[in-house]
Amino acid sequence: MLMIDLNADLGEGGSQDAALIALVSSANIACGGHAGDEATMRAAIDACLAAGVAVGAHPGYEDREYFGRRPMVLSPEEVTDLMTRQLVDFAEIAARTGAQVHHVKPHGALYNQVTCDPVLAAAVVAAVASVLPGCRIYAPPGGVLAAAARDAGLQVWGEGFIDRRYAENGALVSRDEPDAVISELGMAVAQALQIVCEKRVQTESGSWLPLPAETLCVHGDSPRAVEILRAVRHALISAGIKSQAQ
């Protein structure tokens, strides 16, 4: 049986967390950088434990005004420092609840930058290897973050996106571009099935890119995130595909 993990972002101040938890198999919980605080981290972790959802850390730029989605120019040392601080706080809260941290997924602009910048990727991996050496990193398959994580002995899960369009170079189409976000249910379901069953994704121009993935993401702050996840889960079940984080 084919299996795929479904993940979404939690603890970011949205109103859909409870509904998202009922549909995903793993969650990326904001660590107080772009969003969240100790109380929201604790609440999200507790909710995940109750639902049997794998707990992940979602650190990002400490830039709440732009929700961590504005590229920043920081030194590798500064990136390692911000990652370390957020991961230490998250790991301590998780330990107090009895939760095991399953994965780390950088957020927003940091995620996009470390996908193609080997220096910043190494800075992120250094923090993860120091604080949570036994967990996975969610990263675009074939990117420099995935390579840096494997070089450091960390497990990598390739990630695909259900609700975002892909550019020719494999990057996500910028949110500044029209139609960068997929909100139509049929298109989201089709993209999810392409990634899982065919291990490829169609770009905005119609060409195809290989995309072997162990996990699929829907952004938790998307207005239709719950509808999309519900439709995707139904399609996966109908195709005999199980949603599970291992």
Instruction: List pLDDT tens digits, range 134-168.
Output: 999 999 998 999 999 999 999 999 999 999 999 99
Residue 1: pLDDT over 80? no
Q: Given this model, what pLDDT does residue 243 score?
A: 84
Q: Given this model, what pLDDT does residue 147 score?
A: 97
Regarding pTM above 0.85, the answer is yes
- Sequence-distant (6+) residues with CB within 8 A of 190 are none
pLDDT tens for residues 20-77? Answer: 999 999 999 999 999 999 999 999 999 999 999 999 999 999 999 999 999 999 999 9
Structural domains of the chain, count: 1
Please state the φ and ψ torsions of residue 103, each to the nearest 5 degrees: -160, 165
Mean pLDDT rounded to a whole number for the chain = 95
Where residue 244 falls among pLDDT bands split at 50, 70, 90?
confident
Where residue 246 falls among pLDDT bands split at 50, 70, 90?
low
Length reported for the chain: 246
CATH of the domain at 41: 3.20.20.370
Q: Given this model, what pLDDT does residue 45 score?
A: 98
Range of the domain at 34: 3-243
Residue 183: pLDDT over 90? yes
pLDDT tens for residues 10-28? Answer: 999 989 999 999 999 999 9
Residue the block writes with tokens 């910048």: 117
Reference 127, options 93, 90, 95; nearest CA is: 90
Quote the tokens at residue 208: 């195809």
Where residue 221 falls among pLDDT bands split at 50, 70, 90?
confident
